[in-house]
Amino acid sequence: MATDQYNRNLHYLRISLTDRCNFRCVYCMPEHMIFRPRSELMDDEEVLFFVRLFVSLGFDKFRLTGGEPTVRPNLVGLVKDIVNTSGVKSLSMTTNGVIMKKLAHPLAEAGLQRVNISLDTLDPKKFEMLTRRDSFEEVWGGIMAAEEAGLKPIKLNIVVVLGHNDDEVVDLARLTREHAWHIRFIEMMPFGGATDFQRNQVVTAKDVHERIKEAFGPLEAVNGGKLDGEARLYRLPGGIGHVGFISSVTQPFCASCTRARLTADGRLRLCLLHEDEVDLLTPVRQGVSEPEIRQLAREALWRKPWGHGLAEGTVPLNRVMSEIGG
Ligand code: SAM
Ligand code: SF4
């Protein structure tokens, strides 16, 4: 088991499969994003090499993300190979859902267990404003296809943006009365590029909770109010799904963080909100031996920073969210 200097057991790796995306969400990337040359990104063999390497370090839980992971060629084949890697206990994916109608069944058959789908609004016009794409219907269809394919529980990620979708939090929470979904409200985080926007339009998880409580009455805490991953989960009166709050900005969960991230260009990112990264791909391409790369990764994980410094005004500027993987 990999441990860091604060005695946290690290066993969860989020792998970004690409920095590319078919959306341009306003809180994530600029409209005219410039992507890395493909030659700089990990190929399938390199992704699988790192999966095996991290398994050997004690990692057993993996999530595929991006950019948009579904734009990667051979995603289904890659999922199958990751799932069949000895030591991998769980594989999930975060996606914008726009091609899930086509991919949900093949991915489930390949062994993908769950998906998180981003859906910030139920209003197609607002959807277009937030994602800069007119694709609400496709995403809604993608959610249904994912559920049919058994990629459950369906978790919907909602970044709450003041003046854009904060007036919809009650309607979004209401979905849990009819669907056994997790509706997860995420505080917008500041990254390089669009930081003014991200800072000025944050809506806190506490605010969202209050608004939902006003509409439905007190929410029932699930798991005694303990964190489930990064979310605190609740149930609406009469609800069958869960409402989750991810308060990364106002109430970070750093003490219980068990994760690390691998960017699409093969950098081990130790904390989402810290710029520190260790390049693992270059040594692989230079032919450095596996034990030496394992040692490089182990030492980097040991140095994982305690927590982020958003409260002190430290904002990571070296990458935007789509380049890290959420
Ligand atoms: N493209 C996929 C998607 O949108 O689900 C996966 C990658 S995306 C970077 C992962 C998650 O990060 C999404 O749920 C997205 O809403 C969230 N996200 C992006 N920018 C964010 C920001 N500035 N603050 C908080 N969450 C953000
Ligand atoms: Fe693409 Fe996901 Fe970023 Fe939206 S949040 S631009 S879908 S990577």
Q: How far is the CA of 27 from the centre of ligand 2 (A)?
A: 9
Domains of the chain: 2-323 (3.20.20.70)
Write down the H helix ranges in the chain. 44-56, 75-83, 100-110, 124-131, 136-148, 169-178, 195-200, 205-216, 281-285, 290-302, 321-324
Q: How far is the CA of 324 from the centre of ligand 1 (A)?
A: 10
Higher-confidence residue: 38 or 253?
Answer: 38
Ligand 2 pocket list (CB less than 6 A):
21, 23-25, 28-29, 66-68, 96, 118, 321-322
Could you report the per-residue pLDDT of 114-149, keeping only the tens digit for each? 999 999 999 999 999 999 999 999 999 999 999 999
- What average pLDDT is seen over the chain? 92
Q: How, if at all, do strands 182-187 and 242-246 pair?
A: parallel
The verdict on pTM exceeding 0.75 is yes
Least confident of 23-32, 237-246, 268-277, 315-324: 315-324
Does residue 3 have a pLDDT over 70?
A: yes
Q: How far is the CA of 315 from the centre of ligand 1 (A)?
A: 17
Alpha carbons 31 and 260: distance in angstroms, whole number = 28
Which ligand gives the minimal distance to the CA of 31? 2
Residue with tokens 């909100």: 273
Ramachandran category for residue 150: left, alpha or beta (phi over 0 → left; psi -120 to 50 → alpha): left
Q: How far is the CA of 27 from the centre of ligand 1 (A)?
A: 8
Structure confidence at residue 5 as a pLDDT band (50, 70, 90): very high
Q: Whose CA is nearest to atom 8 of ligand 2?
A: 67
Tokens read off for 235: 């149930």
pLDDT of 77 reads 98
Alpha carbons 164 and 176: distance in angstroms, whole number = 21
pLDDT of 312 reads 65
Quick count: other Cβ atoms within 10 Å of Cβ 153? 14
